């Protein structure tokens, strides 16, 4: 069998000493999509789907330099980048702030030639960039020798941008851009708030929490990971607007399987935009037999753009199977599904909760410090989600888990009910209101 390419993304992550086991207070995540995406140019166009608004012409998207805003308007800077897990919540927060205050001035700061440099302008927001700062693993490595120089360079650029825009607050949602931007805000004595999507914080958010006025979290247990617990607020992950808008199951299924009956069961397989090699292989070896034995089962399979051509050559055409490199209409895909099979990125977990879906999560072992495994463990606690480690994953374990869940209507109903109870669909509204309250005194002063 041919080998499907698999990519690693260095992430700025660190686990301080903290409790990650469940307690009597159930963690309450909200959402993505969880997707760790390469910043290669060939992937840029598909990333526009992360935005709330779609661009009519990707080729016309260009970063917008900040202009001097009217001084009587509330001004907010959002620093987010690297992956959809950082960008999606930032856009959701910006949308909610704009709804609450239509006159608000918003500027996004990211890195050049990156995911955010395309998806943020397509969402309708001004975007500018600073030089990237990357922390490589292991920490003690030759690649990190130049880290202090790059960090200072980025802080200087951020300082100039913030001085010109003069924001009342800087919001960091993670990624390599968040750390230098928030440090520049600290030097200018500008209010700082951060949002942590994962169950354990990365090193950037852990350090920034010492200087932040508010730290928004997705899980109750994450409070124990931060030194200043009184500044922590559990709000959940802001989900995309489209996922919060109701799409009926019947309408969604017409998009994928027009001939499917009411008794049909739909499996949605997500491995991120670049795909998950282990999930693709396990499903490749079981899908045919599964569809043969269950005539009313259907599969929506997102292979990932890097793996699509090879998977398409290996997968036989089947009327009950939709094979896609990337799903742009995620709201329809979620609405159509009875069961999700996916990686365990923070935003994907929150989207599963927000849509009330039963799920099988296969956490990626390549994400720094085991973030995905901890996310999946919390999902198992709050929603009864099945977790299969990559070491355990094969066609047999995946097929058995799918059979058990799809074959038990009562179990699926219970998982759905628990997921909806744990979800926080109003996360973005809560965060926006806390931010507006925080900067009220600053607005009067400026």
Q: Do domains 41-239+425-445 and 243-422 have the same CATH topology?
A: yes
Does the pLDDT value for residue 25 go beyond 60? no
pLDDT attached to residue 170: 98
pLDDT, the chain, mean = 83
Q: Which two tokens stand for residue 139?
A: 């920490």
pLDDT attached to residue 174: 86
pLDDT band at 21 (very low <50, low <70, confident <90, very high): very low
pLDDT attached to residue 271: 76
Which residue in 187, 218, 192, 220 sits closest to 204, CA to CA? 192
pLDDT attached to residue 444: 55
pLDDT digits (tens, 9 = 90+) for 278-327: 999 999 999 999 999 999 999 999 998 888 999 999 998 899 999 999 88
pLDDT band at 371 (very low <50, low <70, confident <90, very high): confident
Alpha helices by DSSP H, listed for 227-276, are 241-244, 249-256
Residues 6 or more apart whose CB falls under 8 angstroms from that of 124 comprise 51, 52, 53
Q: At what angle do helices 277-284 and 395-406 cross, to 10 degrees?
A: 80
pLDDT attached to residue 6: 40
Q: Which two tokens stand for residue 7?
A: 């990519």
Contact 115, 81 (CB under 8 A): yes
Strand runs (DSSP E) across 312-378, as ranges?
321-324, 339-342, 358-361
- Across the range 188-205, mean pLDDT stands at 91
Distance in angstroms (rounded) separating the CA atoms of residues 14 and 346: 15
Distance in angstroms (rounded) separating the CA atoms of residues 116 and 108: 9
Does the pLDDT value for residue 373 go beyond 50? yes
For the chain, what percent of residues have pLDDT higher than 70? 79
- Across the range 257-273, mean pLDDT stands at 89
pLDDT attached to residue 125: 96
pLDDT band at 60 (very low <50, low <70, confident <90, very high): very low
Calculate the alpha carbon distances from 267 to 47, 199, 212, 309 in Å. Answer: 23, 26, 42, 21
Residue-range domain boundaries for the chain: 41-239+425-445, 243-422
Calculate the alpha carbon distances from 46 to 23, 74, 94, 305, 334 in Å. Answer: 39, 32, 21, 9, 18
Minimum mean pLDDT range among 40-54, 143-157, 261-275:
40-54
Strand runs (DSSP E) across 229-387, as ranges?
232-234, 265-270, 297-302, 321-324, 339-342, 358-361, 386-387
Distance in angstroms (rounded) separating the CA atoms of residues 281 and 2: 10
The CATH homologous superfamily to which domain 41-239+425-445 belongs is: Glycogen Phosphorylase B; (3.40.50.2000)
Which residue in 37, 7, 8, 13 sits closest to 135, CA to CA? 13
Does the pLDDT value for residue 104 go beyond 60? yes
* CA-atom Rg of the chain in angstroms: 21
State yes or no: cis peptide before 398, omega within 30 of 0: no
pLDDT attached to residue 214: 97
pLDDT digits (tens, 9 = 90+) for 9-19: 333 333 344 54
Distance in angstroms (rounded) separating the CA atoms of residues 30 and 419: 10
Among 27-36, 37-46, 154-163, 263-272, the range with the most confident prediction by mean pLDDT is: 154-163
The two counts, helices (H) then strands (E), for the chain are 17, 13
- Across the range 424-432, mean pLDDT stands at 93
C-alpha neighbours within 13 Å on the C-beta side of residue 444:
5
The CATH homologous superfamily to which domain 243-422 belongs is: Glycogen Phosphorylase B; (3.40.50.2000)
pLDDT attached to residue 428: 93
Does the pLDDT value for residue 91 go beyond 60? yes
- Across the range 386-396, mean pLDDT stands at 96
Does the pLDDT value for residue 207 go beyond 60? yes
Calculate the alpha carbon distances from 410 to 134, 263, 361, 406 in Å. Answer: 47, 15, 20, 10
CA 269 to chain centroid: 16
Does the pLDDT value for residue 198 go beyond 90? no
Residues 6 or more apart whose CB falls under 8 angstroms from that of 378 comprise 22, 27, 29, 199, 219, 221, 349
pLDDT attached to residue 415: 98
pLDDT attached to residue 440: 83
> For the stretch 296-335, what's the b/e string if a residue is b when 16 or more beta carbons lie within 10 angstroms of its beta carbon?
ebbbbbbbbbbbbebbeeebeeeebbbbbbbbebbbbbbb
Minimum mean pLDDT range among 43-57, 75-89, 128-142, 196-210:
43-57
398 against 116, higher pLDDT: 398
- Across the range 348-352, mean pLDDT stands at 93
């Amino acid at each position: 069998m041919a080998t499907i390419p698999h990519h690693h993304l260095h992430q700025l992550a660190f686990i301080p000493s903290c409790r990650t086991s469940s307690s009597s207070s159930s963690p309450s995540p909200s959402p993505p999509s969880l997707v760790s995406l390469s910043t290669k140019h060939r992937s840029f166009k598909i990333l526009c789907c992360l935005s709330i608004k779609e661009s009519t012409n990707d080729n016309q998207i260009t970063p917008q330099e900040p202009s001097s805003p009217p001084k009587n308007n509330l001004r907010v800077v959002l620093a987010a980048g690297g992956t959809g897990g950082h960008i999606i919540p930032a856009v959701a927060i910006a949308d909610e702030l704009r709804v609450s205050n239509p006159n608000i001035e918003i500027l996004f700061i990211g890195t050049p030639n990156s995911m955010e440099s395309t998806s943020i302008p397509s969402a309708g927001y001004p975007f500018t960039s600073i030089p990237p700062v990357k922390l490589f693993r292991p920490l003690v490595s030759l690649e990190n020798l130049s880290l202090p120089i790059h960090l200072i360079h980025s802080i200087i650029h951020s300082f100039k941008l913030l001085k010109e825009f003069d924001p009342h607050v800087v919001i960091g949602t993670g990624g390599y851009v968040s750390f230098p931007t928030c440090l520049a805000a600290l030097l200018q004595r500008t209010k700082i708030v951060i949002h942590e999507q994962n169950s354990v914080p990365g090193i950037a958010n852990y350090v920034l929490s010492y200087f932040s006025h508010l730290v928004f979290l997705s899980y109750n247990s994450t409070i124990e990971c931060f030194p200043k617990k009184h500044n922590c607020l559990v709000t959940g992950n802001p989900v995309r607007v489209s996922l919060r808008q109701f799409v009926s199951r019947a309408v969604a299924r017409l998009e994928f399987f027009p001939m499917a009956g009411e008794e049909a069961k739909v499996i949605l397989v997500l491995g991120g935009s670049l795909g998950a090699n282990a999930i693709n292989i396990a499903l490749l070896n079981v899908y045919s037999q599964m569809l043969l034995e269950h005539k009313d089962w259907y599969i929506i399979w997102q292979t990932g753009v890097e793996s699509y051509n090879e998977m398409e050559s290996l997968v036989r055409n089947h009327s009950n199977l939709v094979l896609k490199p990337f799903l742009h209409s995620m709201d329809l895909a979620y609405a159509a599904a009875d069961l999700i099979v996916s990686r365990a990125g923070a935003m994907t977990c929150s989207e599963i909760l927000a849509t009330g879906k039963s799920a099988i999560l296969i956490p990626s072992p390549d994400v720094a410090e085991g973030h995905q495994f901890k996310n999946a463990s919390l999902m198992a606690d709050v929603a009864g989600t099945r977790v299969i480690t990559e070491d355990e994953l094969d066609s047999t374990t995946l097929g058995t888990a799918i059979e058990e869940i799809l074959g038990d209507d009562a179990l699926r109903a219970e998982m759905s009910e628990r997921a909806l109870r744990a979800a926080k669909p109003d996360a973005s509204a809560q965060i926006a209101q806390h931010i507006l309250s925080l900067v009220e005194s600053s607005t009067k002063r400026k």
